[in-house]
Amino acid sequence: MKTTSDRVCTAVGIVTALLLVAGSTTVSAASRPQDAAVLLAQAAPAQPAADAASPPPAPAAQPSAAGTAPSHGPAELVEARITQLHQQLHITAEEEPQFKAFADVMRSNAQAMQALFQEHAGHPDATAVGQLDWYAKLTAAHSDAVNKLVPVFGTLYQGLTAQQKKTADTVFAQLEQRREASRSK
C-alpha cells in the first residue's frame, strides 16, 4: 500500500513530466537570448497567409542562396513585427498614436524578455528543478508581456475601422491555428 508521501512523489513526478512535455517547445525554442523576441512576437498576431495586399518580406529577411536565414537580434525581430502589423492593419495618421503606444509596449516587453534571457545565460541551472524554475520565470514573463499588450491593443482595436478589425481578427485567428498545429506535432 502506498503512503501519502509516495502518492505525493508520484503526483509531483507526473506533473513535472507533463510540464516538461507541454512546455518543451517553449523552453527549447527559448534557449537563446534572441529568442525572447520570437516568443514575444508570438504574442502579437501573425501575418495572414492570404493577405495579398501585404508586401513580401524585405530581401534581408529572405533566406540566402545557401538556404539559411540571416540572424536577427531581438530588437530587429520586434521592429519587423511592428512594421508588419502597421502595414497589415493599414494604420492611418489618426490611429498612429494608439499604434505607437502598442508598439512601445512591444519594445518594452522585448527588452524585459531579453534581460531575463541574459540573466539566465549567466546562471544556467541544468537540474530538473532549475529547468522548472526557468520555465516558471519564462512563462510568467510571457504572461506579464501579454497582459501589458492587451489594454493598449484594445484601445487601438476600438479605434479601427470594421475592415481593419476584420483583418486583426483574421491575424489573431491564424496565430491560434499556428499554436494548435505546433502542439499537435
Distances (CA, A) of 19 to 38, 42, 140, 154: 21, 20, 14, 31
The H helix count followed by the E strand count for the chain is 6, 0
* Amino acid letter, residue 74: P
Mean pLDDT of 7-22: 36
Tens of pLDDT, residues 95-133? 999 999 999 999 999 999 999 999 999 888 989 999 999
Question: What residue segments make up the domains of the chain, in order of their start?
Answer: 4-50+70-183
**pLDDT at residue number 138:** 94
Cα separation, 46 vs 178, whole angstroms: 9
Give 17's contacts (C-beta < 8 A, 6+ positions apart): none
**pLDDT at residue number 93:** 98
Tens of pLDDT, residues 40-76? 454 554 443 333 333 333 333 333 344 444 557 888 9
Tens of pLDDT, residues 127-170? 999 999 999 999 999 999 999 999 999 999 999 999 999 999 99
Distances (CA, A) of 131 to 1, 93, 97, 115: 32, 46, 40, 18
The 10 Å Cβ neighbour count of residue 93 is 6
Taking the alpha carbons at both ends of the chain, their separation in whole angstroms is: 38
Cα separation, 80 vs 34, whole angstroms: 14
The full DSSP string for 8-74 is: HHHHHHHHHHHHHHHHHHHHHHTSSTTHHHHHHHHHSPPPPTT-TTSPPPPGGGS--TTS-PPP--H
